[in-house]
Chain A
């Protein structure tokens, strides 16, 4: 892996250079509500540097909350169908955390493995992920339990780690290397060294190996009820989650013109599994939440070989009932 260094005072110059080179740069921004969200920015001044985790993940860059699959127009001449795949800009995501970056590995597997998804591919190809390792964590973070850590490079194109006056830069992919080329003069070559002392300490709450084995028989655990009775069935956890990929295809418009959209959906919604007949195979919230958690820790391992929870803690911070996924995983695999 190629290592470089940059003075921390030069970070804004690097950042603004990327914007000047014509890229759309998405970075954490402090909103009026006091929460930090990813947003397209025009300069480094807008970027927040003081956040543990953004409110929502960066998945919307490759899997937007509303994706227009195509639009159509009908007139006397016939039907015209267009999509705007060609308008997807070169995008840089700045400041996502290592857990979020590794979530892109799962997203890629999910969207590309069986029937490669054109829209995801187009967006993914144009996206560069510049992650920043975590110097701080809170009690909702549990990356170390899902075999990641505050400095993991998995999924990122570049990982930045602040080390006092200078920033240690790991160039993980070719895309990452290309990104620093936009401002090559700001960087100096560096050597590989340990990031340990600059990283947050996140204690592991469970052993993934044990969970993987025990969750196989957890489906019938009586603990699900205690773990999930408090669940309201909203989409707050799924929409914030970097690896939740449920979607709903919707047509909007009239007979003459309209569009087909792919919108975020959530397996926690009562409507999610409801049949046209009125029958609903997942009758209550306990079953719906079990589905979400079992998917993360069991089904995605079976289907794609990846645990699809990256321990970002968003579902814990955002849950109106304060339900805690790792506490629940612990209790159902006891």
Chain B
């Protein structure tokens, strides 16, 4: 069977979610691989949510919110941006494939940008294949527990 990437999108309520809505109401065609999770603000998108999405089987993630200076709460996206900068670098330092997370700004008027973003991300992840690197971890340790050879 062909690989269909599972993409989870973490988006803010005010810009990107509305942008996705616009893409929908404008009947723009785009990849169906994405599951959208709506947050009040990008400032609320905790890094642990991303980790959990990967743990539960996501192959790729989109994180998106209002453009700088457009945050509904004035500064949520500025805070988020700082955290993403260090988070992304930390993940890379741990050898995590940061290409699997796409960060973006999509406003309420950018339905077309949203559709393009999802298509692009889906294609990129499709090329990369399933995120076995992460899933394998759990499996390998389960195997180890079963054989009980881990003593460290």
Q: Does B91 interact with chain A (Cβ within 8 Å)?
A: no
- Does the CB pair A24–B147 fall under 8 Å? yes
Q: How far is the CA of A60 from the CA of B145 in the complex (A)?
A: 11
Q: Does B133 interact with chain A (Cβ within 8 Å)?
A: no
Tell me, rounded to whole Å, the shortest Cβ–Cβ distance linking A31 to chain B: 8
- Does the CB pair B150–A60 fall under 8 Å? yes
- Does the CB pair B146–A58 fall under 8 Å? no
- What B residues does A68 contact at CB under 8 A? 145-146
Q: How far is the CA of A285 from the CA of B74 in the complex (A)?
A: 45
Q: Does A38 interact with chain B (Cβ within 8 Å)?
A: yes
- Does the CB pair B148–A39 fall under 8 Å? no
Residues 117-152 of chain B, each 1 if its beta carbon lies under 8 Å from chain A, else 0:
000000000000000000000000000011111111
- Does the CB pair B147–A87 fall under 8 Å? yes
- Does the CB pair B146–A87 fall under 8 Å? yes
- What A residues does B148 contact at CB under 8 A? 24, 61, 64, 88-89, 91, 123
- What B residues does A66 contact at CB under 8 A? 145
Determine the main DSSP class of B at the interface with A.
loop
- Does the CB pair B151–A37 fall under 8 Å? yes
Tell me, rounded to whole Å, the shortest Cβ–Cβ distance linking A260 to chain B: 13
- Does the CB pair B152–A89 fall under 8 Å? no
Tally of chain A residues near chain B (CB < 8 A): 23
Q: How far is the CA of A200 from the CA of B18 in the complex (A)?
A: 75
- What A residues does B147 contact at CB under 8 A? 24, 40, 87, 89
Q: How far is the CA of A250 from the CA of B151 in the complex (A)?
A: 20
Q: List 18 A-B contacts (CB under 8 A).
A: A24-B149, A26-B151, A37-B151, A38-B152, A39-B150, A39-B152, A40-B147, A40-B149, A56-B152, A61-B151, A64-B150, A65-B150, A66-B145, A67-B145, A68-B145, A87-B146, A88-B148, A123-B148
Tell me, rounded to whole Å, the shortest Cβ–Cβ distance linking A254 to chain B: 9
Q: Does A84 interact with chain B (Cβ within 8 Å)?
A: yes
Binding site for B on A (CB under 8 A): 24, 26, 31, 37-40, 55-56, 58, 60-61, 64-68, 84, 87-89, 91, 123
- What B residues does A123 contact at CB under 8 A? 148
- What A residues does B149 contact at CB under 8 A? 24, 26, 39-40
Tell me, rounded to whole Å, the shortest Cβ–Cβ distance linking A56 to chain B: 7
- CB-based closest 6 A-B pairs: A40-B149, A38-B151, A37-B152, A60-B151, A84-B146, A87-B146
- What A residues does B150 contact at CB under 8 A? 39, 60, 64-65
Q: Which residue of B lies closest to A61 (CB)?
A: B151
Q: Which residue of A lies closest to B149 (CB)?
A: A40
**Of listed A55, A58, A89, residue having the most chain B CB within 10 A:** A89
- What A residues does B151 contact at CB under 8 A? 26, 37-40, 56, 58, 60-61
Q: How far is the CA of A67 from the CA of B147 in the complex (A)?
A: 11
Enumerate B77-108 residues with CB–CB distance to A below 8 Å. none
Q: Which residue of B lies closest to A126 (CB)?
A: B148
Q: How far is the CA of A61 from the CA of B145 in the complex (A)?
A: 11
Tell me, rounded to whole Å, the shortest Cβ–Cβ distance linking B141 to chain A: 8
Q: How far is the CA of A60 from the CA of B150 in the complex (A)?
A: 8
Tell me, rounded to whole Å, the shortest Cβ–Cβ distance linking A32 to chain B: 12
Tell me, rounded to whole Å, the shortest Cβ–Cβ distance linking A78 to chain B: 24
Tell me, rounded to whole Å, the shortest Cβ–Cβ distance linking B51 to chain A: 16
Q: How far is the CA of A26 from the CA of B144 in the complex (A)?
A: 13
Q: Which residue of B lies closest to A89 (CB)?
A: B147
Known: A39-B149, A65-B150. 8 other contacts (CB 8 A): A24-B149, A26-B149, A31-B152, A40-B149, A58-B151, A60-B150, A67-B145, A91-B148
